Amino acid sequence: MSSVLERFLKYVVVDTTSNPESETFPSVPETEIPFADMLAGELTSIGVQNVTRDENGYVYGTIPSTIENYQGPVVGFIAHMDTASDAPGKDVHPRVIDCYDGSDIELGNGLVLRPADFESLKGNIGKKLVVTDGTTLLGGDDKAGVAEIMTAAEYLISHPEIPHGPIQVGFTPDEEIGRGVDFFDVKRFGADYAYTMDGGELGELEYENFNAASGLVEINGISIHPGSAKGKMVSAALVGMEFQSLLPVFERPEHTEGREGFTHLISFEGTVDRAKLQYIIRDHDYALFEKKKQFLQDIGAFMNQKYGEGTVKVTVTDSYFNMRKQIEPYPFLLENVQEVYKELDIEPIIVPIRGGTDGARLSFMGLPCPNLGTGDYNCHGRFEYACVDKMETAVQVIVRLCQRFAK
């Protein structure tokens, strides 16, 4: 049997960075499809049944039931294969620290991973860690989840004495760019309920996430030679700056936490003639979420009154919604996890996600799907690291959840 560490080290060196600018699915088929094929082959080799890699790059498989004539619920586990584009994901060189002593960690490339900067390190003293070389992200988001699910699958198949029903396994592309379940076939997957293994600290149990939307503000200016511009020129760039100035300063990400939402300007391109501002809008509270979306429209209307109709066009598009209302009718999904955490002496960390997961959208597609922690930290950047001990425990969490659903 392969260990979760062996798998993790094998997976993270494969470049599967998704591309938000791509119009294909998956966004980078030349790298994501081969990795999907690799995982499908590995699932088949360990005895998972009905393994497929479909035309969109999704990988599905079934761990067969060990209970004859099983009539209970079918549970699934899902992780995403792609990594974020926020930092390089190619030529990853992971390094294993066998026993972390609490000191600063020299990564390379002039970067130092310090417990003074990253509090989570203090909780991992004495544990085995995997770190970067300072030039790339690590890829534990979400290859830690992939490795944990794969290792749990192999363990369950090699231990047929463990009672459990059929277990569904799924790996998805393009989660990091918000498209992870665009073509996910819930019926084909075949589970009644599922968990994404896509969290941070071991013990996380997440069933709340942001309501999310994107906002696009397009501005048409009037470009006139500056020597004769008086009373005629309208600078689209300056109108864009004015638009941004009308949004509440303390509803920006850098001033919010917990369940507080925000409106975040993520890009601004502007000349006198044309300008474009792109926003993301987030809030756990649906009423406040709708209010934030409407406020963008209201600013646009005000600017058109000031500068002339057609100067500003605001387009707001919903991305995903808070899965809490889809999870709460099934309290046993949370109770089962809490019981397993108790058995394994894991402190539950029930926190709202300040973001989204595949599970949020899947929950609205008829597959209630909370999210569990994997033992990966500081994702999306060069300071990312994973705790091997906690990844090993996450494998046990999966195995015990499979047993609990069969009770």
CA distances from 82 to 36, 143, 167 (A): 10, 8, 23
Assign a CATH topology to domain 211-315: Alpha-Beta Plaits (3.30.70)
What homologous superfamily is domain 4-208+322-405 in, according to CATH? Zn peptidases (3.40.630.10)
Structure confidence at residue 326 (pLDDT):
96
| Number of DSSP helices (H) and strands (E) in the chain, helices first | 10, 17
pTM value surpassing 0.85: yes
Active site residue 148: no
Please list the residue range(s) of the chain that carry CATH number 3.40.630.10: 4-208+322-405
Active site residue 82: yes
Q: What is the mean pLDDT of each run of 10 residues along the chain (407 residues)?
A: 93 96 95 98 98 97 96 96 95 97 96 96 97 97 97 98 97 93 96 94 94 96 94 96 97 95 96 97 96 98 97 95 95 97 96 87 96 95 97 98 93
Please list the residue range(s) of the chain that carry CATH number 3.30.70.360: 211-315
Structure confidence at residue 128 (pLDDT):
98
Q: In a 10 Å sphere around its CB, with 0-12 CB exposed, 13-18 middle and 19+ buried, how is residue 173 labelled?
A: buried
Set 175, 198, 208, 358: catalytic member: 175
How far is 249 from 262, CA to CA, in rounded Å?
10
Positive or negative: CA dihedral 251, 254, 255, 260: positive
Set 15, 32, 42, 82: catalytic member: 82
How far is 371 from 377, CA to CA, in rounded Å?
15
Q: What is the pLDDT of residues 279-324, one digit of tens each?
A: 999 999 999 999 999 999 999 999 999 999 999 999 999 988 999 9
